[in-house]
Chains A and B, each alone.
Chain A
Amino acid sequence: MSTANSNSTVKLSDLPKAQPFALTETERHEIEHELGHYPDGRAASIGALKIVQQHRGWVPDEAIAPIAEMIGISAAELEGVATFYSLIYRRPVGRHVIKVCDSISCFLTGYEEIKTSLEKNLGIGMGQTTTDNRFTLLPICCLGACDKGPTMMIDDDLHGDLTPQGISTLLEKYA
């Protein structure tokens, strides 16, 4: 091997160190419970990712390998799953996640005005988080509450019959 080549070789020790990461006892316990529902551990992939997300707000890159190990699949395979599903967050989100339905029934009953009102009230666009980390704004497909359109969810709460004027009062409830 030439000197030039060995000079350009990146040494493992030069790479930035990954943040130390370990699943908590609670997370491990909950994932174990989830694994018990299936004859094949892989089926607990999404459940396990959701457990970690529930505790940490999102799924950091460092969490993938330890989860994959518990489930018995490769980290690459779990990464493929974790990046496919829209409700697995791979970036930090705010304390409250707003999911605004943009599907047809809500579109017909005033989604655009609700979206504008939310963006104005929060000072952010779709896919963004407020600077105080209070809210993340995301679009979501049909929430199955079309009779109450326009609708959205804030965390686990469903809100229907929204009006652009009512948005600021509604947001006040989420500190």
Chain B
Amino acid sequence: MSLEQDLLVKPLTARVNLAQPQDLKAYEASGGYVALRTAVKDLKPQEVQSKVKEANLRGRGGAGFPTGVKWSLVPMGPDSGAKYVVCNADEMEPGTFKDRLLMEGAPHQLVEAMIVTAFAVGACTGYIFLRGEYVVAAERLNKALAEARAAGLLGKNILGSGWDYDCFVHTGAGRYICGEETALINSLEGRRANPRAKPPFPQISGLWGRPTVVNNVESLCNVPAILVNGSEWFRGLSQGKSKDGGTKLYGVSGRAKRTGVYELPIGTSAREILEDHGGGMKDGYKLKCWLPGGASTDFLMPEHLDLAMDFDTIGQAGSRMGTGLLTVVDDKQNMVSVVRNLEEFFARESCGWCTPCRDGLPWSVKILMALERGQGRAEDIAQLERLTRYLGPGRTFCAHAPGAMEPLQSALKFFRSEFEAGVAKTPTEAGVAKTPVAA
């Protein structure tokens, strides 16, 4: 298949070349910056917004909020003042490795998307908030930005339109919480990455109190192709497998044969992703359960494999599609240990801003460690269940702790006996002297 044809089927990854990504010349030769030229010359910002809205592009960072709708909340007009576009490239959700591919393999695609998005919302400056560990991506994005700037595609008077916009790479210094969009804004402003109260939403009051759109790398990278090929084409990419539009970067990690990232129509079944593309489980391992899209999603079981991987379907099954990259848990794993690993991660990465999260997550780890050693107490499982409620949605400042509770609550639901097996048979084993309770 030629690159031209490939771009119509796999708009996100057709250009990806990890060994040697396209430079400006090669990117333009393959249709790059056509979207930007079209937007600046022939379209009004609101028309770009409408095209993205009609494409049914839902945010690929995990929450699935429609991208075009998000943009439409930004105040427009000549008096709307300084506005910002921020790309959330802080990919740190355990089990997620898709944005790295896009940034290392096709940096110009994201740079063009950052310019087109800025045009659509009338932004003056853009920032790519990149996690510090992605050194290759930082280098390649900076090179692409410099090339775009030199070619008049970025900076003052872009393509002679009179519109000024510049974009910078801002690298982080660790902490998972920076991926939460309001924490990200605080971090970008040079503060501790504590989340902010919502409302106001960033589209109204974000970076430096100005209207700001924060979009994930994968969401943004779809934008240029939508403008070039149209909203209808984009909706059709899902091939009727989902009412959402586009392709999705799916992937598999864990003990599967061909782990990796695959661009497929959104709504492709988890079975097809794991078995056809991921090659199934490694020999000698059976699938025990799986996380649909990161550490903060509920476990699903082998019987859920035929579900379409889209936001609504996975949501109805009691989990979340999240980032859409499957983490498969094999039959050699003990679920108490698996969940302990997940909760240790969340406990360590809590920003400490609100008490339920700061104190509740280490508490869950402590209980899970006791159960792992066979030193749990009879009431521990009920306590874990209480924690899933006390740290659930609405009880904490942001989605960090509720996200942490998703794998715990689903593991308790599906694998209760493994948790019960960690309860000590005698008080001595539990390391505590128990007072006998009268019946």
State the A residues within 8 Å of B (CB): 37, 39-47, 49-50, 71, 73, 80-81, 84-88, 99, 102-105, 107-109, 140-149, 153, 156
A60 and B51 alpha carbons, distance in the complex (Å): 51
**With a CB–CB cut-off of 8 A, which chain B residues contact A142?**
92-96, 295
Q: Smallest distance from the beta carbon of B425 to chain A beta carbons, Å?
A: 26
**With a CB–CB cut-off of 8 A, which chain B residues contact A156?**
135
Would you call A105 and B173 a contact (CB within 8 A)? no
Would you call B133 and A143 a contact (CB within 8 A)? yes
Interface string of B164-179 (1 = CB under 8 A from A): 0000101111111000
Task: Known contacts A144-B97, A146-B253; decide if A99 and B327 are in contact (CB<8 Å).
Answer: no
**With a CB–CB cut-off of 8 A, which chain B residues contact A71?**
190
Would you call A144 and B254 a contact (CB within 8 A)? no
B393 at interface (Cβ–Cβ under 8 A)?
no
The 6 lowest CB-CB distance pairs between A and B, nearest first, are: A45-B190, A146-B253, A103-B94, A86-B174, A147-B259, A85-B173
Which residue of chain B lies nearest to A39 when distances are taken between CB atoms in the complex?
B208
Would you call A108 and B170 a contact (CB within 8 A)? no
29 contacts between A and B (CB under 8 A): A37-B170, A39-B125, A43-B188, A46-B190, A50-B132, A80-B192, A81-B190, A81-B192, A84-B193, A85-B193, A86-B175, A87-B173, A103-B345, A105-B253, A105-B254, A108-B254, A108-B327, A108-B329, A108-B330, A109-B254, A109-B255, A142-B92, A142-B94, A142-B295, A143-B133, A144-B97, A146-B325, A147-B252, A148-B259
Would you call B251 and A103 a contact (CB within 8 A)? no
Which residue of chain B lies nearest to A44 when distances are taken between CB atoms in the complex?
B190
A149 and B97 alpha carbons, distance in the complex (Å): 11
Would you call B338 and A149 a contact (CB within 8 A)? no
Which residue of chain B lies nearest to A103 when distances are taken between CB atoms in the complex?
B94
Would you call B338 and A108 a contact (CB within 8 A)? yes
Q: Smallest distance from the beta carbon of A57 to chain B beta carbons, Å?
A: 15
B4 at interface (Cβ–Cβ under 8 A)?
no
Instruction: Pick the contact of B341: A37, A40, A50, A104 (CB < 8 A).
Output: A104
- Interface size class of chain B, counting residues whose CB lies under 8 Å from the partner chain: 35 or more
Task: Known contacts A104-B342, A145-B100; decide if A50 and B190 are in contact (CB<8 Å).
Answer: no
Which residue of chain B lies nearest to A151 when distances are taken between CB atoms in the complex?
B97
**With a CB–CB cut-off of 8 A, which chain B residues contact A109?**
253-255
Other than the given A37-B168, A146-B96, 17 more pairs (CB < 8 A) read A37-B170, A39-B82, A42-B191, A44-B190, A85-B174, A88-B173, A99-B133, A105-B253, A105-B327, A108-B255, A108-B330, A109-B254, A140-B174, A141-B348, A142-B95, A143-B133, A146-B97
B91 at interface (Cβ–Cβ under 8 A)?
yes
**With a CB–CB cut-off of 8 A, which chain B residues contact A144?**
91-92, 96-97, 99-100, 131, 133-134
Interface centre among A44, A73, A107, A156, by most chain B C-beta atoms within 10 angstroms, is A107
Would you call A40 and B208 a contact (CB within 8 A)? yes
Task: Known contacts A50-B132, A87-B173, A156-B135; decide if A104 and B327 are in contact (CB<8 Å).
Answer: yes
A80 and B345 alpha carbons, distance in the complex (Å): 22
Interface string of B188-218 (1 = CB under 8 A from A): 1111110000000000000010000000000
Which residue of chain A lies nearest to B132 when distances are taken between CB atoms in the complex?
A87
Instruction: Pick the contact of B171: A42, A50, A108 (CB < 8 A).
Output: A50
**With a CB–CB cut-off of 8 A, which chain B residues contact A41?**
190
Which residue of chain B lies nearest to A37 when distances are taken between CB atoms in the complex?
B168
Would you call A107 and B338 a contact (CB within 8 A)? yes
Would you call A47 and B170 a contact (CB within 8 A)? yes
A103 and B333 alpha carbons, distance in the complex (Å): 15
Would you call A141 and B176 a contact (CB within 8 A)? yes
Interface string of B9-49 (1 = CB under 8 A from A): 00000000000000000000000000000000000000000
Q: Smallest distance from the beta carbon of A42 to chain B beta carbons, Å?
A: 4
Interface centre among B97, B135, B259, by most chain A C-beta atoms within 10 angstroms, is B97
A44 and B97 alpha carbons, distance in the complex (Å): 28
B153 at interface (Cβ–Cβ under 8 A)?
no
Which residue of chain B lies nearest to A40 when distances are taken between CB atoms in the complex?
B208
**With a CB–CB cut-off of 8 A, which chain B residues contact A85?**
172-175, 193
A113 and B141 alpha carbons, distance in the complex (Å): 35
Would you call B253 and A107 a contact (CB within 8 A)? no
**With a CB–CB cut-off of 8 A, which chain A residues contact B191?**
42, 45, 81
A108 and B328 alpha carbons, distance in the complex (Å): 9
Q: Smallest distance from the beta carbon of B98 to chain A beta carbons, Å?
A: 8
B349 at interface (Cβ–Cβ under 8 A)?
yes
Which residue of chain A lies nearest to B131 when distances are taken between CB atoms in the complex?
A144
Interface string of B133-176 (1 = CB under 8 A from A): 11100000000000000000000000000000000101111111
Instruction: Pick the contact of A141: B170, B333, B349 (CB < 8 A).
Output: B349
Which residue of chain A lies nearest to B348 when distances are taken between CB atoms in the complex?
A141
Q: Smallest distance from the beta carbon of A112 to chain B beta carbons, Å?
A: 9
B260 at interface (Cβ–Cβ under 8 A)?
yes
**With a CB–CB cut-off of 8 A, which chain A residues contact B253?**
105, 108-109, 146-147, 149
Would you call B295 and A103 a contact (CB within 8 A)? yes
Would you call A146 and B327 a contact (CB within 8 A)? yes
Interface centre among B174, B260, B349, by most chain A C-beta atoms within 10 angstroms, is B174
